[in-house]
Structure 1
Amino acid sequence: MDFHKKILIIRFSSIGDIVLATSPLKTIRKAYPNATITFLTLDKFSSLLEYHPDIDHLLAINNNMTIKEIWDFRKYIVRSNYDIIYDLHNSLRSNLFTLWSSTPSFQLKKPRIKRAILFYFHKNYFDTSFSTTKMYHEHLGPIWRNTNSPVPLTNLRLSEYEINKAKSYLISKGVLSDFMVLIPGAAWKQKQWIVKNYVKLLGKINNPVIMLGSSSDKICSDIASLCHSVINLSGVTSLRQALGIIANAKHIIGSDTGLLHAAEALGKSVSMILGPTTKETGANVLLPDSHSIEKDIWCRPCSQNGSLPCYRKKQYCMESIEINDVLDSIPLA
């Protein structure tokens, strides 16, 4: 029996990767239904996992911890006497936290060599069935070996109060129902579709559109200045408030960014516009009604997260995506 088992799961960042980590989390909970599961992440992302049914304790740390603070926290982890540790990040920090630990640990092995060959030599040695959620599962040890079970979908949870509060807020903005959410921003500019294309796309959508993003997403203000019908809430909502709005939406459109993955974890279909990233880098959709909009261009993917500047005379991977490519993926009213 696993009544007294204590399990630690580590995934620090970012939003999209934490969301994808809820798939193996479900498998771990299924294998140990009575265990106490603690999820360790960064404090700026921890609200993402509030109310999650498979998490008993949410442990959050600051991204700017000193080496001494990390070392002291490592001692706390050792004193906590976890029975199993699943390191789904495999970073320097996660390795320091588990250093010299006698606890049985299962650690994600990232396909760095395959990705480097793909980025620099454009040779793809990934299995055609590769996905990040499947990759996580392949490093869970015996609970996933010799199983033909399907990889679970991702999952986030909101309270009824949060959903209704978001609905009331939208009504105050004149949005009653059947609205869509646009999330055009991304951590790196190379992952963002062209502003003028978004504006033309919005002109063809009859549904109300709410735009979400952070205060640093300049693309949101650029779109809002050219399209006055869109309701721009970038930089206005908290992470939980943004999730509440998404949970009330009909469909989500945007870049390969964390909130698109979060939308699917809330059961919402998405249209994910892909440029420099592909499924081999974690950029893919999971739900049957979702769509990845991408072009088969020899130079992509070119980096893990789209951070590298395009070395060609123009960014063909984004500029080749036409308005109708995105429009055809949207369930219009």
Structure 2
Amino acid sequence: MKKDIKRIAIVRLSALGDIVNSAVTLQFIHDKYPDAKIEWITEEVFAPLLENHPLVSIVHTLNLKQLKKSKSFSLLKQTFLELRSLGEFDIIIDIQGLLKSAIVARLIGSNTHGFDKNSAREGIASYFYKTTSHIEYDENIVKRNTFLASDGLGFNISDEMLLNKKPIFETTEYPLDNSDKKNIAIVIGASWESKKYPKERVAELCNELKENSIILWGSDAEKEDALWICENSAYATIAPKLSLIDLVSLISSVDLLIGNDTGPTHMAWAQNIPSITLFGPTTTRMIYETPINIGIKSSSKVDIYHINKNDFSIKDIEVQKVVTKAKELLK
């Protein structure tokens, strides 16, 4: 174990699922370094998820999207000065492994740690780190994140530790249907169209399960699809517009979550809630499978180094296969 670690910075700017899969490291870092302050650097939109986390002392936010859009030199200078003013850290861990996150890490200080050239998503990022770790790029994403953080800090996070993890986020109970039916959250959105399970199949899924299916949405287009599903299934209800905090609370309160490969779906694993993640153009590498958190992959072959965003094979996953797995988990 490394000595005298008192202040740790974690750089994970986006996106929601990646932040969730990185935040699992917090409890293990705290166990090894209970007196260390852990500070998180992220995009402004994700700050509410981490601001009240008991193991995060401070959340520092950036608005890189605004910076890119405005092309403002004064805003760039302000961002630079804010990063440089954070003070000295014993270690700055860039879990993202992109050029932009590596630059952010290096602006904060010199004690940077990240993936080596052959492990990072963007190999050029490795030139900004003082120390690096090697793990194959095609390794499970949660194992990559936890290995990088623990290796940089001089300890190990085992599979047993991950399987017995505590819920990652603290929540309050979300009011749900108290009937004899099970509450199932269904995530219909995703960053790419090819990641989405067709709304027709979601409606069929709700009708086959005959439980209380709560359709989660995050955009106007997703809301339209959610309403269509509810019109075509008496077992489906649409969730209200949710803040990040309310989203975590709802997911933490259901009996099962079914969804596409996207942030809210990963939240079920984070909270130790049973889940089924459906995959088309991506693979089960994106989740940490457990006895209660499983993935169902379409038959298409995936090259993770060159993801085919036009792979719509998720639509070929049979509803009955999902129903069978769901009933097993609900038992």
What is the 5 A alignment of 1:54-73? 54-63=55-64, 64-65=66-67, 66-73=75-82
Higher helix share: 2
By how many angstroms is 1:97 displaced? 2.5
Q: Say if 1:239 and 1:10 are closer, same or farther in 2 by CA, change over 3 A.
A: same
Q: Is the 8 A contact 1:2 1:33 kept in 2?
A: no
1:238 and 1:214 map into 2 onto residues whose CA distance is: 10
1:137 to 125, 146, 149: 146
Q: Is the 8 A contact 1:83 1:103 kept in 2?
A: no
1:213 and 1:206 map into 2 onto residues whose CA distance is: 20
Unaligned runs of 5+ in 2: 68-74, 124-134
Greater displacement, 255-264 / 293-302: 293-302
Q: Is the 8 A contact 1:86 1:105 kept in 2?
A: yes
Q: Which residue of 1 aligns with 2:16?
A: 15
Query: C-alpha deviations, 1:183-202, integer Å up to 9, x for none?
Result: 11111110001221111111
Q: Is the 8 A contact 2:12 2:94 kept in 1?
A: yes
Q: Which residue of 2 aligns with 1:225?
A: 231
1:87 and 1:133 map into 2 onto residues whose CA distance is: 14
Greater displacement, 104-113 / 53-62: 104-113
Q: Say if 1:4 and 1:99 are closer, same or farther in 2 by CA, change over 3 A.
A: closer
Q: In the alignment, is residue 108 of structure 1 matched against residue 109 of structure 2? A: no
Q: Which residue of 1 aligns with 2:36?
A: 35
Normalising by structure 2, report the TM-score: 0.80
1:183 and 1:228 map into 2 onto residues whose CA distance is: 18
Q: Which residue of 2 aligns with 1:86?
A: 93
1:113 and 1:197 map into 2 onto residues whose CA distance is: 36
1:99 and 1:128 map into 2 onto residues whose CA distance is: 22
Q: CA RMSD in A?
A: 3.0
- The code of the aligned residue for 1:292 comes to G
By how many angstroms is 1:302 displaced? 7.8
Q: Say if 1:18 and 1:100 are closer, same or farther in 2 by CA, change over 3 A.
A: closer
2:96 and 2:137 map into 1 onto residues whose CA distance is: 23
1:261 to 258, 262, 266: 266
1:318 to 298, 310, 314: 314
Normalising by structure 1, report the TM-score: 0.79
Q: Which residue of 2 aligns with 1:278?
A: 283
Query: C-alpha deviations, 1:98-131, integer Å up to 9, x for none?
Result: 33665321113445499xxxxxxxxxxx979921
By how many angstroms is 1:296 displaced? 3.5
2:189 and 2:62 map into 1 onto residues whose CA distance is: 26
1:324 and 1:67 map into 2 onto residues whose CA distance is: 52
Q: In the alignment, is residue 329 of structure 1 matched against residue 330 of structure 2? A: no
By how many angstroms is 1:59 displaced? 2.1
By how many angstroms is 1:89 displaced? 1.5
- The code of the aligned residue for 1:327 comes to V
- The code of the aligned residue for 2:227 comes to S
Q: Say if 1:139 and 1:101 are closer, same or farther in 2 by CA, change over 3 A.
A: same
- The code of the aligned residue for 1:137 comes to T
Greater displacement, 181-190 / 88-97: 88-97
By how many angstroms is 1:205 displaced? 1.3
1:286 and 1:100 map into 2 onto residues whose CA distance is: 36
By how many angstroms is 1:298 displaced? 2.9
Q: Is the 8 A contact 1:181 1:253 kept in 2?
A: yes
By how many angstroms is 1:228 displaced? 4.0
Unaligned runs of 5+ in 1: 115-125
Query: C-alpha deviations, 1:128-160, integer Å up to 9, x for none?
Result: 992112112333345356x4733534742234x
Q: Say if 1:327 and 1:128 are closer, same or farther in 2 by CA, change over 3 A.
A: farther
Q: Which residue of 2 aligns with 1:121?
A: none
Q: Is the 8 A contact 1:8 1:82 kept in 2?
A: yes
Query: C-alpha deviations, 1:286-316, integer Å up to 9, x for none?
Result: 3321220113423565855x6x234xxxx3x
- The code of the aligned residue for 1:46 comes to A
1:104 and 1:253 map into 2 onto residues whose CA distance is: 41
Identity among equivalent pairs (%)? 21
2:143 and 2:195 map into 1 onto residues whose CA distance is: 24
What is the 5 A alignment of 1:111-190? 111-112=120-121, 130-140=139-149, 141-144=151-154, 147=156, 149-150=158-159, 152=162, 153=165, 155-159=167-171, 162-163=172-173, 166-167=174-175, 170=176, 178-190=182-194
2:218 and 2:179 map into 1 onto residues whose CA distance is: 21
Q: Say if 1:89 and 1:259 are closer, same or farther in 2 by CA, change over 3 A.
A: same
Q: Is the 8 A contact 1:24 1:133 kept in 2?
A: no
